[in-house]
Structure 1
Amino acid sequence: MKIAAIQMQSGLDPDANLAALVPLLAEAKGQGADYALTPEVTLIFPENREQLRAVAAPFENHPQLAAVGRLAKEHAMFVQIGSLPIPLEDGRFANRSVLFGPDGTQRATYDKIHLFDADIAGLNAYRESATYRGGEQAVTAPVGDMVLGFSICYDMRFPRLYNSLANAGANLIAVPAAFTVPTGQAHWHVLLRARAIETGSYVIAAAQGGQHENGRATYGHSLIVDPWGRIIAELDHDRPGVLVAEIDPAAVTEARGRVPALANARDFSPPGLQS
């Protein structure tokens, strides 16, 4: 099958972001894609809670998601909205990924599990958990002949999630993201290749790129990695675009047979301090 990573430069207007997505999905379909992944925060890229609260719509009967469902049906393809913010009852938001089937129906959802809370020298503390509530459930779903594993951006720094997805049958793992430029330059390629290598899975990473309306700059460089860790397709820039590659489940079987790390893994006790 053919898969597509869609790179965007999302802003604060959901309808404008949807309008920007429409021709990119059509281009992916025109290149023969059976499945397309969009970036993190595809439909609104906010900088703070005030911006979120001004435009984030409830999940039920969400107007832009309903439109994406119609586009998936029109193109007869799987379409995964990498993520969008969904209001929750406690006043925070879920960073939610949504998969549509070729019939336009919602097939699966995933709420980003890992949240970036950090005190960085010389900078203000960053507390993603003040705005978002982390998910608690890993998710897989069938996509054609593949089994798709879900993750979002910062999740990629936590190998245990990817190991869990692969052990649950995932052989294609989605990583929609909005990486900053400095972390993208330092870690983007190596982390995504590592997640592919250690799970023997295809990894597809759809990125935000460029200068955004909220003042942020993101790295771009959407890419697709094969189960041996080779980058088989990449957008080598930060502009909107479509990246398509053909994948084969047999490559997963081959990679896992050559290095059976999943099968050889063992449980062990935590380290003890020895004198």
Structure 2
Amino acid sequence: MYKEKWTAALIQMDSREDESRNLEAAARKVREAALQGADLVMLPETVDFIGRDMRSHGKTVPGPVSELFRELARENHIYLHCGSITEAAGGEKCRNTSLLFDPGGEIAGRYSKLHLFDVELSGGKMIRESAQIAGGSQVALSKTELGMLGFGICYDIRFPEMFRIMGKHQAQVILVCANFTDPTGQAHWEPLLRARAIENTCYILACGQCGEKWNYTAHGNSMIVDPWGRIVARADKKEQILMGEIDMGLADKTRRQIPSLENIRQDVYELVEKSVKIY
């Protein structure tokens, strides 16, 4: 049985190219959120490093970065979602990997970003995330004392099929760490998050980066969206700790009221689930 009501803390950060500074700031803010009563603390995407060459910062898991977060979870007796870190993948690329630690400091969930952002923009500007990042290979969920948690990273929110699969596997809360750019964030961030919550009658906890990065502005606007699609709490574009209550009774009630997950027409169409890992 999971905890009926609990408190989430989303730590919106401005991570840059100074890894030591990023990790020191993350540790300080995790402790601050724990003191404010958070049961689960969440960090943004690539909390450890954001710069031109992500590959040079790939770390092994377990390793020094994951060990820091393990100790923070154990020390503060919280669930700690480290956002994502650059994980060494072997060869010339790294992985964009989320880790969830339980209050004892054990890894309770692990997910590597599936969908990589490759695009050619107007004026010939190219963004090729796949040039440095190796994509993951499975959808991941974690059965915890706080409920069934699912995982997504940034660009993943544009792929509702992935979130539907997590919903079908009873995800009650989906944790999305992100580093959304400001132009697309202004147009799409909120509607995409609210749609994923409504479609799957679950909470969405979306923790983002903010500030000026090396070649773009991050959108910020971390938010907690409830299963009805309502925004429970929302950050602005500055570094901050966003707190909100998660009511699992509301999640259960909404699924009874709107049984869309039960009404899927499997006889007409089917989602092919090649790999789902439940921790």
Please, what TM-score do these two structures have when normalized by structure 1? 0.92
Alpha-carbon displacement from aligned partner over 1:85-137 (angstroms, at most 9, x marks no partner): 11212311111001111011222210000111122232323221121111110
1:215 deviates by 3.6
CA–CA separation in structure 1 for the residues paired with 2:68 and 2:146:
26
Q: Which runs of 5+ in 1 are unaligned?
A: 271-275
CA–CA separation in structure 2 for the residues paired with 1:52 and 1:120:
21
1:273: which partner in 2? none
> Residue type matched to 2:33 in 1?
A
> Residue type matched to 2:172 in 1?
N
| Contact 2:117-2:127 within 8 A present in 1 as well | yes
CA–CA separation in structure 2 for the residues paired with 1:182 and 1:131:
23
CA–CA separation in structure 2 for the residues paired with 1:140 and 1:55:
26
CA–CA separation in structure 2 for the residues paired with 1:227 and 1:46:
35
1:36: which partner in 2? 41
Does residue 252 (structure 1) correspond to residue 257 (structure 2)? The answer is no
> Residue type matched to 1:10 in 2?
S
Distance 1:200 1:28, change over 3 A: same
Given candidates 8, 13, 25, the residue that maps to 1:20 is: 25
Instruction: Give the ranges of 4+ consecutive aligned residues of structure 1 lying more than 3 Å apart after TM superposition.
Output: none
Between the aligned residues of both structures, percent identity stands at 38
- Name the stretch that deviates more: 245-254 or 51-60: 51-60
CA–CA separation in structure 2 for the residues paired with 1:4 and 1:199:
22
Alpha-carbon displacement from aligned partner over 1:31-87 (angstroms, at most 9, x marks no partner): 21100110001011122xxx3243332223x21221111111111000011111112
Q: Which has the higher strand share?
A: 2
CA–CA separation in structure 2 for the residues paired with 1:57 and 1:27:
26
1:85: which partner in 2? 86
CA–CA separation in structure 2 for the residues paired with 1:216 and 1:19:
23
CA–CA separation in structure 1 for the residues paired with 2:202 and 2:269:
27
> Residue type matched to 1:29 in 2?
A
The 5 A counterparts of 1:109-128 are 109-128=110-129
CA–CA separation in structure 2 for the residues paired with 1:84 and 1:171:
24
2:233: which partner in 1? 233
1:9: which partner in 2? 14
SS in structure 1 of the partner of residue 143 of structure 2: strand
Aligned length: 264
Please, what TM-score do these two structures have when normalized by structure 2? 0.91
| Contact 2:58-2:94 within 8 A present in 1 as well | no
| Contact 2:54-2:132 within 8 A present in 1 as well | no
| Contact 1:14-1:64 within 8 A present in 2 as well | no
1:58: which partner in 2? 60
CA–CA separation in structure 1 for the residues paired with 2:19 and 2:144:
27
| Contact 2:85-2:98 within 8 A present in 1 as well | yes
CA–CA separation in structure 2 for the residues paired with 1:2 and 1:52:
32
| Contact 2:58-2:89 within 8 A present in 1 as well | no
> Residue type matched to 1:258 in 2?
Q
1:206: which partner in 2? 207
| Contact 2:224-2:232 within 8 A present in 1 as well | yes
1:23 deviates by 2.1
CA–CA separation in structure 1 for the residues paired with 2:158 and 2:143:
24
> Residue type matched to 1:154 in 2?
Y
1:269 deviates by 5.0
SS in structure 1 of the partner of residue 250 of structure 2: helix
SS in structure 1 of the partner of residue 54 of structure 2: helix
1:220: which partner in 2? 220
CA–CA separation in structure 1 for the residues paired with 2:171 and 2:269:
26
CA–CA separation in structure 2 for the residues paired with 1:5 and 1:148:
15
1:8 deviates by 0.3
Alpha-carbon displacement from aligned partner over 1:201-248 (angstroms, at most 9, x marks no partner): 000000000113x2431010110000000000011x211111111112
